[in-house]
Structure 1
C-alpha cells in the first residue's frame, strides 16, 4: 500500500480541528499530513508506528507529531472481532503552523515554543505530570468557542514546550533521510519493513516492494539511509527490542524471537553491536 496523504477536513468556523473519535477500531492507514497532531488515547490498545519507530500504545497514552511524518496506529487483532466491549476513544487536535503566524513565533516570549515545534519532526511520547496537565486542558478545548480555543491551544503547546516529560519516537536518521527525499519507494520500504520485521524478511521480497532488482534495491537503501539493508532491518528490530526490555514482561529469548531474530545468540550479538551494551545491561538500567 502506498503512503497516503491525509486531507484533514476543517470546519469553516474554526482555524484548527479538534475531535473526539469513538470507533470499533482505528481505520486510518499508513499516512502523513502537513498538520501538527496531538493525540490523547483514552481507551485503545495496539501498535504505533511513527517513521522507523515501532512501539505499543495503550489506554492513557499521549502522542505529539510534527508535520509530514509517516505514521499509523493499528489495534490488536481482538478489536476486529466485533467485540462490543472493545472500542477506541481518542481525542485529536490537528493544526498548521500558519495559524500561529511567523511574527508571533518570532517574539522572544515564544522562543521555547518555536524551538519545540521545529524539533517535533521525530514525534514525541508525552509522560508524567505533563500528560496529566494536558488531559485537563484537553477536557476544556473540545467544547470551547471563539478566542478561548486559540488560548487553550497555546496553553497546551506552552506546557509541552516547557516540559522534560517527552521522549522521541522516530530516529534522527529517519527524519534526515526524508528531508532529502520525497521518494515513494522509500516510504513503501519503511512500511513493508515495519509491518513484517517480526518475521523473516527475504531481500528479494523486499526489493519487489520497491519494484527494484536486488542489486538496485541494495544501492537504493544505501544511498538513502547510509546503511545496508541488513543493518537497516536490524536497527528497526533492536529499537523495538529496547522498548520490550524496558517493559520487562518477556524473557530475553522471547524478545529475540518477538523482534524477528532467528536465535537469542544472534540477537545478543547484533544488540551489542548496535547499542554498545548487552540486552541484560539495558534491562538493568531501565
Structure 2
C-alpha cells in the first residue's frame, strides 16, 4: 500500500477541526496530510510510527505532528479480534497555518510558537504537566464556539511553545529527506521498513519494493537520504530498542531479537556505534526513569 494523503474536512462555520473518535480500533493507514495534528489518546494502546521513529502508545499519551509527516497508529492485535470489547478513544485537533490567516504566525509575538511549529515536523510526544494543561484546554475547546475556539487553540500552542516536557520523535535527517522528495518509491520503502523492521530484511527485498535493481536502489536511497539502506534500517531498529530499554520489561538479548537484529552481539555493536553507549550502559543511564 502506498502512502495515503488523508483529506481533512472542516465545517463551513469553522476554520479548523476538533473531534472525539470512539472506535473499536484505530483504522487510519500509513498517511500524511497538510494539517498540524494534536492527538490525545484517552484510551488505546499499540504501536506509533512517526517518520523513522517507532514507539509504543498507551492510555493518556499525547502527540503533536507537523504537516505532511508520515505517521500511523496501529492497535495491539487484541483490538482486531472478533467479539473484542476493546475500545479506542482519541481527542483530535487538525488545523493549518492558514487557519489564522496567511501572515498571522509571522507576527513578532508569534516567534516562539513559529519556532515550535517548524520543529513539529519531527512529531512531538507531549509529557508531564504540559500534557495535563492541554487536556484541560481540549475539554473546553470541544464545547466552545465562535472566537473562543481560536483563543483556546492559541493557548494550547503557547503552552507547547514554552514547554520543556517535549520529546521529538523522527530524526531531523528523515524529515529533511522526506520534505525534499516527492518520490513515491521512497515512501513505499519507508512504509515497508516500518512494517517489517522486526524481521530479517534483505537488500534485494527492499530493492524489489522500489522496483529497482540492487545497485540502482543503493544509489537511489543514498542520494535521497544521505545514508545507506543498512544504516537507515539499523537506525530505525536502534531507536525502537531505546524505547524498549527504557521500559525495562525485556532482557537486552530479547530486545535485540524484538528489534530485528540476528544476534545480541551484533545488536550491542551497532547500538554502541550509533549511540556511543552499550545497551547496558543506556539502561543504567536511564534506570531512574524505568517503571518498576
Residue in structure 2 matched with residue 167 of structure 1 by the alignment: 167
Q: Look up the SS of the partner of 2:208 in the other structure.
A: helix
Give, in whole Å, the separation in 2 of the partners of 1:77 and 1:181.
33
Residue in structure 1 matched with residue 226 of structure 2 by the alignment: 226
Q: CA deviation at 1:206?
A: 1.1
Equivalent pair of 2:173/2:225 in contact (CA under 8 Å)? yes
Asked if 1:282 corresponds to 2:256, the answer is no
Asked if 1:139 corresponds to 2:142, the answer is no
Give, in whole Å, the separation in 2 of the partners of 1:113 and 1:102.
15
Q: Look up the SS of the partner of 2:283 in the other structure.
A: helix
Q: Which aligned pairs between 1:16-95 and structure 2 lie closer than 5 A?
A: 16-95=16-95
Q: Which aligned pairs between 1:8-19 and structure 2 lie closer than 5 A?
A: 8-19=8-19
Equivalent pair of 1:32/1:70 in contact (CA under 8 Å)? yes
Residue in structure 1 matched with residue 107 of structure 2 by the alignment: 107
Equivalent pair of 1:130/1:160 in contact (CA under 8 Å)? yes
Equivalent pair of 1:43/1:88 in contact (CA under 8 Å)? yes
Q: CA deviation at 1:101?
A: 2.7
Q: Which aligned pairs between 1:126-275 and structure 2 lie closer than 5 A?
A: 126-275=126-275
Q: Look up the SS of the partner of 1:54 in the other structure.
A: strand
Equivalent pair of 1:16/1:95 in contact (CA under 8 Å)? yes
After the TM superposition, list the runs of 4 or more consecutive aligned residues in structure 1 that deviate by more than 3 angstroms.
none
After alignment, is 12-21 or 76-85 more displaced? Answer: 76-85
TM score, norm. by length of structure 1 = 0.98
After alignment, is 40-49 or 225-234 more displaced? Answer: 225-234
Equivalent pair of 1:24/1:82 in contact (CA under 8 Å)? no
Q: Look up the SS of the partner of 2:136 in the other structure.
A: helix
Q: CA deviation at 1:84?
A: 4.3
Q: CA deviation at 1:232?
A: 1.2
Q: CA deviation at 1:143?
A: 1.4
1:116-146 CA distances to partner (integer Å, 9 max, x unpaired)?
1111110100000000001101111111111
Equivalent pair of 2:197/2:233 in contact (CA under 8 Å)? yes
Q: Look up the SS of the partner of 2:211 in the other structure.
A: coil
Q: Look up the SS of the partner of 1:230 in the other structure.
A: helix
Structure 1: unaligned runs, 5 residues or longer: none
Q: CA deviation at 1:9?
A: 0.8
Give, in whole Å, the separation in 1 of the partners of 2:211 and 2:98.
38
1:200-227 CA distances to partner (integer Å, 9 max, x unpaired)?
0121111111111111111111111122
Give, in whole Å, the separation in 2 of the partners of 1:38 and 1:228.
33
